[in-house]
Amino acid sequence: MGKLYLVPTPIGNLKDMTFRAIEVLKEVDLILAEDTRTSGKLLKHFEIGTQMHSHHMHNEHKTTEGIVNRIKAGENVALISDAGTPAISDPGFLLTRACVEADIEVDCLPGATAFVPALVNSALPNDRFVFEGFLPIKKGRQTRLQAMAEEHRTIIFYESPHKLLKTLAHLIEYVGEDRPVSISRELSKLHEETIRGSLKEVLKHFTEKPPKGELVIVMGGKK
């Protein structure tokens, strides 16, 4: 029986790729990639010639069983996402669960993920925190925001630049304009930036300077 490897990839800076990750990707029989075009550039950079198949949120329900059967037959498979650690707001959970249920060994390598550096450099309490991923766009959004208003732990979630102002306005509506927040964008890249302040101050900043790049929002909990 083979093994499933969950392999983190850089969130921006290619120097964050680990030696072990490169070694695993070169040695496995198959690499599952969220977007083969994006991952193809990464593999080419590190001279990795392993066969690659597409595995993303739109096909993972259909492909998981076949992948499990290949691993049971002896193949070693690595799963990567476009950036960061698989299954963190990316595909990976379904396949991991299926492998565990089939008694297949799963090995998750340590590596890049966006919310950890955003939390650590936020200067907000990080001894206890909750990760919310992406907020629902419509259904369930109000319920989630209401729950966050009562959360005492530091709260972390992801947001896209074109939705940031709307999300900040919603947060002010539910938790108040004075709640401390830290927003990091373009982590590990050339134009990395972290803006800290109250929700009101941060909303003003990004209203005047529209954000670019993926964002991590870290918000203080209820006092």
What's the pLDDT score for residue 138? 86
What's the pLDDT score for residue 57? 85
Q: Per-residue pLDDT for the chain (223 aa), expressed as one digit of tens each?
A: 999 999 999 999 999 999 999 999 999 999 999 999 999 999 999 999 999 999 988 888 999 999 999 999 999 999 999 999 999 999 999 999 999 999 999 999 999 999 999 999 999 999 999 999 999 988 899 999 999 999 999 999 999 999 999 999 999 999 999 999 999 999 999 999 999 999 999 999 999 999 998 899 999 999 9
Tokens encoding 194 = 């972290």
C-alpha angle 58/62/64, rounded to 5°? 105
What's the pLDDT score for residue 152? 97
130: left (phi over 0), alpha (psi -120 to 50) or beta: beta
